[in-house]
Amino acid sequence: MLSASIRRQTQCLVRNGVFKAGNHINISNRLVSSATKTTETTIETVTAAPSPEDLAKESQMPHFENPDLPNRDISTKNKLVKPDYENDGFKVPQWKRAFGETFISLFHIDMDNVRAGTIGGSKYFYMCKDQGLQFTDEPLSETAIFWYETLGLPRTFAMWFQITTLHVWLLFIRMRAMPFKIGKNYQQKITDKLFKDIELRLSEEMNVLSGQIRDTYMKDFHSQMLGMIFSLDEAFAQKSDDVLAAAIWRNIFNGDKNIDIVKLEAVVRYVRMQLYVLDNISDRAFGFGDFEFVGPNETVELLSKEDKSQLLKMTKIKYEPEDGKILPSHKSKLSLDE
Amino acid sequence: MSANSTAKKIVSVLQQLPVDKVKHYASFKYAQIERFCNIGGIPIPKAVKEEQEIQEKKKQVLIKLDAAKLKRMIFSETEEKPDYQKNLFNEDILKQQYKSIKSIHENKWGNYYAISSKLHEPKGNPNYYSRLLGDINAGGQKKEGIFTAFKTIISGRY
């Protein structure tokens, strides 16, 4: 029997929706192996490398508080209510689906354009912002535990923004590799949503009631975002972990002089792992929202050539079935091969 | 091997790190060299000191007001110096730090999770990274011709 963690893993990564858990468990298992794996599993797995969380936990260096960056938890009192459509398992009623399909087919709607908003601006953005969300007296999510407890980063609104931007940048890298017009649209939508969300959070959660002050903060966040994307892009272009580590030190660890380098390495490893997954997912699967960030307590195993071709084959079966029946909303120009 | 020699090894790896091509508010390389020199009781290299002086001069021009920091500076009796908590470091901790900085410098994870040219030369914008690097290497001083500038603005591509 599969353990809960494995079952959760089978829902994530490239095979999310591409591989049906159960049928292709061996391959999916080879893709991701969790550090939190329990002994119940009978499936043979080889852990390639420790997960970022395990790597960071190995460090024996005590945590030094930075007096310049005190914790400022966000009060649960002001917490924004998550709309229904953000929750797992939310399903659109059948009649709405049918109406939508008819509408799309009748007016020849360009679905790649629409998907930029529903996938890029919604699903992918929710994924990014959930990574570092934290509230007072509320248990942290698995990913937030990594950022705030394992790495010891300050629990502040600015930190949430930095973590979210790091993930947005990871998606930007993949979006640039999509056809120009579509990729740009995805990027635009996710940025729009990010700033819309920041404004809402500033007014609701942080209680900044003056619109003028909010605007000043947003301008600050915007220039921070430009700087962060620039330095991370520079590191990515130079193909160097040195530069990437320096960019992460400045933008995630706030240039802390007393940084634990083991933790810095863990974040470098985390970023590289995500990029590897993004590299191996096809445009079509990525554009349809079949990507999920690998958790910091999970590790990705390297794919063999056969695995890669199998992955593409499964994507093809999912998006272009042999019987040729594709719903109007599933039509796309995105490539299935790269 | 004593803790000091491990700190020395860390400093020697840090010295091999590339210098930031664009000046930022802090340099990882110089900040960490200073820190580990302090921990290992090694004299701080001349290049690092010079760099720090330049940074200090810049700071005098750009003063960022931080109430808490100012309060500490005004009311503390001793001059504020970065506290590296030297006494907390032992041989094992330094060895771990050395191992990590070495694997960062050797590009361990970049090589392990190697990625193809698909992301490095994105098909939607193939020259994006080469142009970015070109501009960074030119120190942001290279001027663009009017035609290429128009092309960039109209097409949005680089």
SS (H, E, C) chain A: CCCHHHHHHHHCCCCECCECCCCCHHHHHHHEEECCCCCCCCCCCCCCCCCHHHHHHCCCCCCCCCCCCCCCCECHHHCCCCCHHHCCCCCCCHHHHHHHHHHHHHHCCCHHHHHHHHHHHHHHHHHHHHCCCCECCCCCCHHHHHHHHHCCCCCCHHHHHHHHHHHHHHHHHHHHCCCHHHHHHHHHHHHHHHHHHHHHHHHHCCCCCCHHHHHHHHHHHHHHHHHHHHHHHHHHHHCCHHHHHHHHHHHCCCCCCCCCHHHHHHHHHHHHHHHHHHHHCCHHHHHCCCCCCCCCCEEECCCCHHHHHHHHHHHHHHHCCCCCCCCHHHCCCCCCCC
Together in a domain, B135 and B105: no
Together in a domain, B122 and B102: no
Asked if the Cβ–Cβ distance from B109 to A241 is below 8 Å, we say yes
For A45-57, the pLDDT digits (tens) are 445 588 999 889 8
Together in a domain, B42 and B85: yes
Asked if the Cβ–Cβ distance from B115 to A244 is below 8 Å, we say no
**Mean pLDDT in chain B?**
84
Contacting residues of B for A276, CB less than 8 Å apart: 113-115
Contacting residues of B for A269, CB less than 8 Å apart: 109
Per-residue pLDDT band at A173 (split at 50, 70, 90)? very high
State which residues form the domain around B126: 117-155
| Total domains in the fold of chain A | 1
Together in a domain, B136 and B103: no
**Residues B38/B84, Cβ–Cβ less than 8 Å:** yes
- Residue A23 included in any domain: no
Together in a domain, B90 and B46: yes
Q: Residue A108 pLDDT > 50, yes or no?
A: yes
Together in a domain, B97 and B22: yes
- Residue A133 included in any domain: yes
pLDDT of residue A147: 94
Together in a domain, B108 and B128: no
- Residue A35 included in any domain: no
Q: Which of B6, B25, B28 to mutate to test the interface with A (most CBs of A within 10 A)?
A: B28
State which residues form the domain around A196: 53-294
| Total domains in the fold of chain B | 2
Together in a domain, B108 and B151: no
- Residue A321 included in any domain: no
Q: Residue A8 pLDDT > 80, yes or no?
A: no
pLDDT of residue B20: 87
Q: Chain A window 89-148: which residues touch B at a Cβ cutoff of 8 Å?
A: none
Q: How many CB pairs under 8 A join A and B?
A: 156
Asked if the Cβ–Cβ distance from A179 to B124 is below 8 Å, we say yes
Q: Which of B96, B119, B132 minimises the CB distance to A279? A: B119
Mean pLDDT of A314-335: 87
Task: Give the pTM.
Answer: 0.87
Q: Residue A195 pLDDT > 60, yes or no?
A: yes
The dihedrals phi and psi of A313, each to the nearest 5 degrees, come to -60, -45
Together in a domain, B31 and B92: yes
Contacting residues of B for A240, CB less than 8 Å apart: 18, 107, 110
Together in a domain, B86 and B14: yes
Together in a domain, B145 and B72: no
Mean pLDDT of A149-177: 94
Mean pLDDT of A165-193: 94
Together in a domain, B125 and B49: no
Which pair of structure tokens corresponds to residue A13?
């990564």
For A65-104, the pLDDT digits (tens) are 777 777 888 888 888 888 888 887 888 899 999 999 999 9
- Residue A25 included in any domain: no
